[in-house]
Amino acid sequence: MAKKLVVVVSDEHSPPDFMERAGRFAEVVVASNSDRALQELRNAEGLFLWDMESTVASNSSLAPKLEWIHVPGIGVNTVISQEVLSSAVVVTNTRGVFEHPIAEYVLGMMLLVAKDFRKTYDFQRTKAWHCRPTSSLRDQVAVLIGPGAIGREIFKILTAVGVKVFPVGRRAVAGDPVFGHLNSSDELINLLPKADTVILSMPLTGETAGFMNEKRFAQMKPGSCLINIGRGGLVDESALITALQAGQVGTAALDVFADEPLREDHPFWTMDQVFVSPHMSGEVYGWEERAIEQFLENLERWAKGQPLKNVVDKAARAV
């Protein structure tokens, strides 16, 4: 008898176009709201969160037969509850689809700041001819906090254009095949004052929540740039606003926020030093098809009792 898979979609979006192919490996049921999803999960073994903002997996009791949860993205914060963490449920995510586009976003934001493109566009709108020097990325210093798959792509693309990147993880590692030397977070006290740009690319966990706070903003090089493509909860937003107003942080490029969508009265919208993008750094044309192909491969493996790909280390992602 085929296992049952519940696919959770949002009210605003249609189910992904893979049902016929998925039906070869499992009994597939689509749920467009939490109540329906919870009802169907009572006797389901699999859960596919096409709606990545759904909290069905983390805000309710664990379904008794559940074996597998898949997320069509990299972050799994809406999945890793204490109950999921302590269970035998396997969590998988989607890798190899979003990492390079996110790295391109980081490079784009650094160029936007260095080349002063915002002001150039403003001058164009007023037909003002203001020739002026701008900065080069070559030999700029970037501190990259978060050495995962996204961090590795960011490191590659920035070093290719001459940026001096200092990668930072929880612990120091010598001889890493990509980074060479990986610095420990304890070394940030010496690295932050040197950085022209600080990039956040780590997951949100109990250890990293509020990681960039008043103390760390004070350690940053005055006028430097903060780029966050990790999770909004990594940043104390009130402390960042204060640091921006004081000029301690010169610019912030933010793709993620503590509460999304960003409320209309949030100060970030109107601050000239802030670039707001709506959690889209990895959104490139064709990502859905690539994510679905990865999922279908894992679905076939799951149906046949084979090891799954892209298994998440749940303990490392604990919130």
Residues 88 and 122 in one domain: no
Instruction: Give the pLDDT score at 287.
Output: 94
pLDDT, tens only, 75-128: 888 888 888 988 999 999 999 999 999 999 999 999 999 999 999 999 999 999
User: CATH number for the domain including 108?
Assistant: 3.40.50.720
- pLDDT tens sequence for the chain (319 residues): 799 999 999 876 666 678 789 999 999 999 988 899 999 999 999 999 999 888 888 877 888 999 999 999 998 888 888 889 889 999 999 999 999 999 999 999 999 999 999 999 999 999 999 999 999 999 999 999 999 999 999 999 999 999 999 999 999 999 999 999 999 999 999 999 999 999 999 999 889 999 999 999 999 999 999 999 999 999 999 999 999 999 999 999 999 999 999 999 999 999 999 999 999 999 999 999 999 999 999 999 999 999 999 999 887 765 4
**Residue 61, pLDDT score:** 80
Looking at the fold, whether 130 and 85 belong to one and the same domain comes out as no
Residues 161, 309: Cα–Cα separation, whole Å: 33
* Structural domain boundaries enclosing 107: 99-276
Task: Indicate the angle between helix axes 149-160 and 99-114, nearest 10 degrees.
Answer: 40
Would you state the pLDDT for residue 19?
Answer: 77
User: In terms of domains, do 136 and 249 share one?
Assistant: yes
129 and 14 in a single domain? The answer is no
DSSP 3-state assignment of 12? coil
- Tens digits of per-residue pLDDT, 219-243? 999 999 999 999 999 999 999 999 9
Q: What does the alpha-carbon distance between residue 4 and residue 247 come to, in Å, rounded to a whole number?
A: 55
Give the pLDDT confidence score for residue 80 in this predicted structure.
84
User: In this structure, are residues 150 and 229 in contact, taking their beta carbons and an 8 Å threshold?
Assistant: yes
Same domain, 129 and 261: yes
Contact 156, 144 (CB under 8 A): no
Count structural domains, the chain: 2
76 and 118 assigned to the same domain: no
CA atoms of 124 and 106, how far apart (whole Å): 25
Residues 6 or more apart in contact with residue 184 via CB below 8 angstroms: 168, 169, 170, 171, 172
**Could you tell me whether strands 68-70 and 27-31 are parallel, antiparallel, or unpaired per DSSP bridges?**
unpaired
Is residue 196 within 8 A of residue 141, CB to CB? The reply is: yes
Global confidence as pTM: 0.92
Token pair for 112: 């936007």
Question: Does 243 lie in the same domain as 135?
Answer: yes
Residues near 190 by Cβ (< 8 Å), separated by ≥ 6? none
Looking at the structure, tell me whether residues 251 and 125 fall in a common domain: yes
**Bridge partners, residue 29, by sequence:** 6
Residues 299 and 234 in one domain: no
